[in-house]
Amino acid sequence: MLTVSTVAAGIMAGSSFRIYSRLQSWLGDTCLSEEIPAFQIVEESDDTLRVPERLTFRVPTVVGAVSWVPTAFDSPLGVYGQRIVAQVGIGVSNSQIEWLTRGRFLMHSAETDDKDVITCEALGLLTLLDEAQLATEYQPKAGATFGTIIRALVEPGITVDLTAAPTDRAAPNSISWSDNRLDDVQAVLDAWPAQGEISDAGTLKITPVPADPTVGDAVFHFHDALGGTADRYNTSISRDVAYNGVVAKGQYPDSAGAKSGQEIISVVQDTDPASPYRVGGPFSPYLKPFGYASPLLTTVSQVKSAASTRLRTLRSRGSRTVRISSVPHLALRRGDPVLVTASRLNLTSVPGRIETQKLSYDGAAMETVVRMVGV
């Protein structure tokens, strides 16, 4: 959740307030526009996508004597590395607006139409990695660690923040890598295990994979009682994404002597008596495993840790999702822990984590998908 004052948080917990918006365009260290005359601004974020963030907006072709059609490499709406800084604001007094930076986006496309309007699309900064195909498979330097590998793959285009990362460890030598930077970064994160998210400051922040949220972790409560901000709930659940075990495989490194190159296998099963997916329970009398393999896992403990983390993630993926239509909350972000109370769905203060979010900067209802815990 973005840092916000107590006053602004109290206003957003109500049902009526005005949203201000501001889009800036930057090319390197140069600000091309302090305020793009944008309208119909919509920010979307989806945890299941390789590049989770997307920003769309529209701009008149001409405002006053200024043409906004991108005809030069340094036009504010150009696609030559222009980054859009998206900000939203809320009035906290008669003369003061509190501004929040929602994120930084890479301009992807701009198209004019016959109504003298430019339709623009900007994507999350991970797009830079996803499109940066290497000439050959990546080869880390001798003595590289997980942290230095991620820095080498990501910087200088995106600054890497390892302040809160898990304990670093050496990467094995002589393994095959991908020629796609984003694939290699994801392989390191999976094996660590860790997660990487683009912060509102535009950095790639590496943190441990979070556990299921509890009631005490919640930063906001969606509820449909009197005075609540939510007005509609829908729900879905599927057996397709549910598993009760993980079979993880690694490989002993060259330094392991006679074991060098041999496969390491760890099977972790869901044995939690409170889990609806537990092995031997009603879900299935058999093991329904998810397979995962990485040559970056070089010890039994590493393989088991990765398998346990993946099982925890899969169990949350198999739980119910609730789609909520609510009053916009300008500080909430994908990944935030929240509580959900929905009388129609028989949910009372159930914790979950925001999986997808659609926020319109013009004040329309916010659409949020929350992945629930334990249901």
pLDDT at 344: 76
Domain match, 227 and 342 both: yes
CATH of the domain at 157: 3.55.50
pLDDT at 36: 97
Instruction: Let me know if residue 289 belongs to a domain.
Output: yes
User: What's the pLDDT tens digit per position in 275-290?
Assistant: 888 888 888 888 888 8
pLDDT at 108: 97
User: What's the pLDDT tens digit per position in 123-161?
Assistant: 999 999 999 888 888 888 888 999 999 999 999 999 999
Neighbour-count burial for 108-124, b at 16+ CB within 10 Å, e otherwise? bebeeeeeebbebbbbb
> Which of 10-24, 40-54, 67-81, 112-126 shows the lowest per-residue confidence on average (mean pLDDT)?
10-24
Q: Which structure tokens are listed for 4? A: 């916000």
Contact between 253 and 299 under an 8 Å Cβ cutoff? The reply is no
Domain match, 119 and 19 both: yes
User: What's the pLDDT tens digit per position in 218-228?
Assistant: 999 998 776 66
Domain range for 310 is 245-317
Backbone φ, ψ for residue 240 (5° rounding): -60, -35
Domain match, 181 and 271 both: no
Domain match, 17 and 145 both: no
Q: How many structural domains is the chain composed of? A: 4
Domain match, 12 and 58 both: yes
Return mean pLDDT, the chain: 89
Average pLDDT over residues 55-83: 95
Domain match, 43 and 103 both: yes
Q: Given pLDDT bands bounded at 50, 70 and 90, which one contains residue 253?
A: confident
> Which of 44-53, 258-267, 330-339 shows the lowest per-residue confidence on average (mean pLDDT)?
258-267
Which residue, among 41, 120, 133, 138, has the nearest Cα to 82 in the 3D structure? 120
Instruction: Let me know if residue 54 belongs to a domain.
Output: yes
Instruction: Let me know if residue 171 belongs to a domain.
Output: yes
Is the model's pLDDT at 41 over the cut of 90? yes
Instruction: Let me know if residue 173 belongs to a domain.
Output: yes
**7-16, 35-44, 311-320, range with greatest mean pLDDT:** 35-44
End position of a domain, from candidates 317, 343, 360: 317
Average pLDDT over residues 72-88: 96
Q: Given pLDDT bands bounded at 50, 70 and 90, which one contains residue 15?
A: low
Instruction: Let me know if residue 1 belongs to a domain.
Output: no
Instruction: Give the CB-side neighbour count of residue 304, counting CA atoms within 13 A.
Output: 3
What's 151-196 look like in SS3? HHHHCCCCCEECCCCCCCCECCCCCCCCCEHHHHHHHHHHHCCCEE
pLDDT at 17: 83
Average pLDDT over residues 80-95: 92
Domain match, 82 and 171 both: no
Domain match, 295 and 189 both: no
Domain match, 43 and 154 both: no
Domain match, 179 and 308 both: no
Instruction: Let me know if residue 347 belongs to a domain.
Output: yes
What's this model's pTM, rounded to 2 decimal places? 0.85
pLDDT at 282: 87
Domain match, 157 and 28 both: no
How far apart CA 127 and CA 373 sit, in angstroms, is: 31
Q: Is the four-CA dihedral 294, 299, 304, 305 of positive or negative sign?
A: negative
How far apart CA 117 and CA 68 sit, in angstroms, is: 9
Burial category of 313 from C-beta neighbours within 10 Å (exposed 0-12, middle 13-18, buried 19 and up): middle
How far apart CA 263 and CA 299 sit, in angstroms, is: 10
Q: Which position has the higher pLDDT, 363 or 99?
A: 99
Angle CA 121–122–124, to nearest 5:
145
